[in-house]
Structure 1
Amino acid sequence: MPLMRLAYASTATFEAEPVKRGIEPHVARILMESRRNNVKRQLVGGLYYGDNRFFQYLEGEKEAVLALYQRIKADPRHRDVVTLIEGPLEKTTFTDWSMKYVPLSADVQQLLNRYGLREFAPASFDASMCEEMIQLIRSSRGDQKLVNHDEAETRAQPQARVLSPAMIGGLILAAACVIGGLVATGASL
């Protein structure tokens, strides 16, 4: 199957909520859905959200990328979808990511500053800026894997105890007896 790559820009239709735990809640839901569905379709790529706008880059089998893009264009969570890059690809470059997310970063701000842009407006990016943005997403730190904050809170809670308090007491008593026996044996030698 032939591979392809596709990048697009769009404007969010939702009212941005205050960022909680590092990510806008609507974007967190989009990422969770993308990651779950893209694995099934063997699609990879990256997403950047800033100034109420999206830049997304996708790679995968041509049919799967185009089918997903049709669903994306019909998604009511954004509008003004503009195709920035669309073309063939020899091999995927985001092999470990079903959908990598780059949070607001100084790197993107530097990119905007280099091009004299005051805000993130990816629909106006030329080919060179798109390639820089893709490289920025590709090379960004890979520590944004978790976006399900309920899941994060669950994981942060203490694990269930494997040993009951009675068993712990018994082990302490047994250890004390062994140590006492060793001390008594050592004293008698």
Structure 2
Amino acid sequence: DPQSLLSDLRDILNEAHHFNYLNRIYGVLYFADGYFFQCLEGDQTTIMQLFEKIKKDKRHEQIHAFPARNVEQGLFQDWSMKFVRKNSAISIFFQQLGQESFNPYLLNKDSICAFIPLLAEIEMDQVS
């Protein structure tokens, strides 16, 4: 149901903005082709606690965690939670990987290192 998805998305983003701001967590949430992708930056312990909470949230299904890695300079420090919806640059990125559409399960260690900076470059969207 698209209306319920939109409502859940608004709720998730509102919760994320509030929690992340208070806990100095930054990140991006991308949604396209029926999939979500999220990247979080901040204190590793806080992020791991947040991830455990996300896994217990009934609004989330089939969660896959990519290996965490340390970065010297974060890409999302301007956003407590940046939201990006389906975007042509990301469609092209996945086509170059040989995929017809966005599917985060198909990302590997190398492609994810190129995908995350692409998300940082794209303008933020509003949930209407």
TM-score by length of 1: 0.62
Alignment partner of 2:37 out of 55, 70, 73: 55
Which residue identity lines up with residue 116 of structure 1 in the other structure? G
Task: Determine which structure has greater relative contact order: mean sequence separation of CA pairs < 8 Å that are 6+ residues apart, divided by chain length.
Answer: 2
List gaps (5 residues or longer) in structure 1: 1-14, 150-189
Larger Rg: 1
Per the alignment, residue 95 of structure 2 pairs with 113
Higher fraction of strand: 1
Q: Do the aligned residues in 2 keep the contact of 1:84 with 1:123 (CA within 8 Å)?
A: no
Q: Do the aligned residues in 1 keep the contact of 2:24 with 2:42 (CA within 8 Å)?
A: yes
Per the alignment, residue 96 of structure 1 pairs with 78
Q: Greater CA deviation, 78-87 or 64-73? A: 78-87
Q: Do the aligned residues in 1 keep the contact of 2:31 with 2:86 (CA within 8 Å)?
A: yes
Equivalent residues in 2 for 1:5-44 (5 A)?
15=1, 17=2, 24-44=6-26
Q: Do the aligned residues in 2 keep the contact of 1:38 with 1:99 (CA within 8 Å)?
A: yes
Residue 32 of structure 1, CA deviation: 1.5
Q: Do the aligned residues in 1 keep the contact of 2:75 with 2:117 (CA within 8 Å)?
A: no
> Residue 69 of structure 2 aligns to a residue in which SS?
strand
Sequence identity percentage? 27
Which residue identity lines up with residue 33 of structure 1 in the other structure? E
> Residue 29 of structure 2 aligns to a residue in which SS?
strand
Per the alignment, residue 77 of structure 1 pairs with 59
CA distance in 2, matches of 1:91, 1:135: 12
Per the alignment, residue 126 of structure 1 pairs with 108
> Residue 105 of structure 2 aligns to a residue in which SS?
helix
Following superposition, which runs of at least 4 residues in structure 1 exceed 3 angstroms of deviation? none
> Residue 68 of structure 1 aligns to a residue in which SS?
helix
Which residue identity lines up with residue 72 of structure 2 in the other structure? E
Residue 115 of structure 1, CA deviation: 1.2
CA distance in 2, matches of 1:132, 1:90: 16
Cα RMSD of the aligned pairs, angstroms, is: 2.0
Per the alignment, residue 65 of structure 1 pairs with 47
Residue 82 of structure 1, CA deviation: 1.0
Q: Do the aligned residues in 1 keep the contact of 2:33 with 2:86 (CA within 8 Å)?
A: no
CA distance in 2, matches of 1:93, 1:122: 19
Tell me the alpha carbon deviations over residues 155-186 of structure 1, each in whole angstroms, 9 at most, x when there is no partner: xxxxxxxxxxxxxxxxxxxxxxxxxxxxxxxx
Which residue identity lines up with residue 72 of structure 1 in the other structure? I
Aligned residues: 128
Change (3 A) 1:124 1:59: same
